[in-house]
Amino acid sequence: MTDVIQEFLAFLNASPTPFHACHGLAQTLLDAGFEDHSSGTPSSGRFATSRGLLRDGGALLAWSLPSTGAPTSLRIIGAHTDSPHLRIRPRPEMERAGCHQLGVEPYGGLLANSWLDRNLGLAGRVMCRNTYGEVQEHLFADHRPVLRIPQLAIHLDREINEKGLLLNKQVHLNPIWAIEGIGSTWGEGFAEYCAEQVGQRSEAVLTWEVSCFDTAPAQCVGRHSELITSARLDNLTSCFAATQVLATTPPSSTGLLMALFDHEEVGSVSATGAQSPLLPDLIAALCDARGIDQQARFELLERSSVCSADMAHATHPNYPERHEPQHPIRLGGGPVVKVNVNQRYATDAASAAAFILACQDREIPVQTYSHRADLACGSTIGPISAAQLGCSTVDVGLAMLGMHSISETMATSDLELLISSLQGWAIQADSRG
C-alpha cells in the first residue's frame, strides 16, 4: 500500500461530515505553506498572498498564484464535500415498543436499504453559547456504534426476496439508540449527548447539525487489495485528489484554484454551495488585489478552464443492462470523462480534448462515460460553474460501484491516476498555452 493510499484511507475515516473533511484538507494545505484567510483570521492583504485558503463550514476554497503580477490564465478544480446520509432532526427523541429512537431526515439521494443493520456513529457540529454570550461552533465525531436500524425479520415479510424491500423514509429509517429512558422532555436527551461530546454544559447547547455515519473503516479489499471500500467516496475522493494537486504543484504563471462546495447532493443552492457567489467573488477579489480591472478579468476567464471532479458509474457486472452498451466503464481503467448532450455534464469536445491530451502526455488511460438515453442522468457542479464563470469546463471522475450507498467501491489504482491526470491538466496551460 502506497503512502498516498494510506493517507487517503486515514482522511476518509477522519471525515464523517463535510465540516471534518474541510478541516482536514485545510490542514494539508497549511502544512504545505498555504495561509489561512478564513473568517476570524487577519485580513490584511488576505487576497494578495500567493497561496491561501478560505474555509466556510463545509466549503473550502484555495489558490496558488504567481507571487507578483497577473496570472496568464486560471485552472480551477471543483468538487463537492457532501454525501447522502441521515441527519438528526432538531427534536429527535421518540419512543416506540420500549425502544428509544432518534428521528432522522434523509439528506440527498441515499440508498436507504444500505443503512440497515449497520453500526452507526454520530458526527457534526454543535452551536453553543459561550461565557461571553456569543455563539461558538464545536465539531465532534463519535466513532462508537451508538445507533442501529434493524431490518424487519423475513418471518414478518415473507415476500421480501421476491417483491423487493420497500422503505418509507419517514417511518422505517429511525435508528435505535437506547432501550432505557433518555430524558423527560423533548430535546433534553440528545442535547445532553451533544454537550458531552463537545465538553460543554447541556444548557449551553443551542442547535446542531449532526449526521449518522457507518463506523466501519475505509479499507482495501479484494484478492490483491485492488479495491477500496468506504462511505463517502462520492465525492471525498475528488476533494482529496484536488487538494493533493494544489499542495504539490509549485506556483507558476498559470493560477491554480480549488473550489470544494457543500450541498451538491441537494441542488447546490446554499451559501456554501456551487450556486453561491463564493467562487466568482473569490476570483474578483484575487484580481482586485493584483490590479486586474473588470475587463481584464473577463479576458482572464476567457483563457481559463474548469475541471469538475466527481465520481462516475462503473459498469456493474450484475446489471450490465443498466449501462450504455457502447461506453463500458471499468474499475481500474483510469479517469473518466463524462459527457451528456443535455448539459447534465458541462463537457464539450474542446474541454474533453484538453483533458484527454493531458492524460496522453502522462500515459494515463482515460475512459468516456455516456448515460443511457432511457434513464435520468445525474449532474455535478460542472454546469453550474460553467454558467457562472463562462469558462470552458470538463466533467471528470473515477469509476465506482454502489454510488450513494453507505459503503461504496472503487479501484485502489485509480486514485493516483486521478491525481496525476489533474496535475497534468492543471499545468497544461504552461507548456501548451
Same-domain pairing of 185 and 278 = no
Residue 225 lies in a domain: no
Residue 74 lies in a domain: yes
How many domains, in total, are found in the chain?
A: 2
pLDDT in tens, 257-291: 999 999 999 999 999 999 999 999 999 999 999 99
Residue 41 lies in a domain: yes
Residue 224 lies in a domain: no
Sheet with 408-411, edge to edge strand ranges? 219-221, 227-230, 408-411, 399-401, 312-313
> Between helices 233-248 and 18-31, what is the axis angle to 10°?
10
Residue 295 lies in a domain: yes
Same-domain pairing of 105 and 237 = no
Q: Contact 412/226 with Cβ under 8 angstroms?
A: yes
Range of the domain at 90: 85-214
Along the 433 residues of the chain, how does pLDDT read in single tens digits?
899 999 999 999 999 999 999 999 999 999 999 999 997 655 557 888 899 999 999 999 999 999 878 899 999 999 999 999 999 999 999 999 999 999 999 999 999 999 999 999 999 999 999 989 999 999 999 999 999 999 999 999 999 999 999 999 999 999 999 987 554 444 458 999 999 999 999 999 999 999 999 999 999 999 999 999 999 999 999 999 999 999 999 888 899 999 999 999 999 999 999 999 999 999 999 999 999 999 999 999 999 999 999 999 999 999 999 999 999 999 999 999 999 999 999 999 999 999 999 999 999 999 999 999 999 999 999 999 999 999 999 999 999 999 999 999 999 999 999 999 999 999 986 544 4
Same-domain pairing of 356 and 379 = yes
pLDDT in tens, 96-143: 999 999 999 999 999 999 999 999 999 999 999 998 999 999 999 999
Grid cell, residue 159, equals: 415476500
CATH number at residue 380: 3.40.630.10
Of 189, 214, 239, the residue at which a domain comes to its end is 214
Same-domain pairing of 257 and 396 = yes
Grid cell, residue 52, equals: 491561501
Phi/psi at 230 (5° precision): -170, 160
**Residue environment code for 326-349, b if the CB has 16+ CB neighbours within 10 A, otherwise e:** eeebebbbbbbbbbbeeebbbbee
Same-domain pairing of 157 and 244 = no
Same-domain pairing of 75 and 131 = no
Of 182, 214, 246, the residue at which a domain comes to its end is 214
Same-domain pairing of 179 and 96 = yes
Same-domain pairing of 267 and 373 = yes
Same-domain pairing of 37 and 181 = no
- β-pair type (59-64, 73-80): unpaired
pLDDT in tens, 387-414: 999 999 999 999 999 999 999 999 999 9
Same-domain pairing of 256 and 401 = yes
Q: Across-strand partners of 101?
A: 94, 176
Same-domain pairing of 294 and 372 = yes
Same-domain pairing of 289 and 339 = yes
Residue 181 lies in a domain: yes
CATH number at residue 106: 2.30.250.10
Q: Report the distance separating Cα 175 and Cα 150, nearest Å.
A: 8
Of 188, 214, 240, the residue at which a domain comes to its end is 214
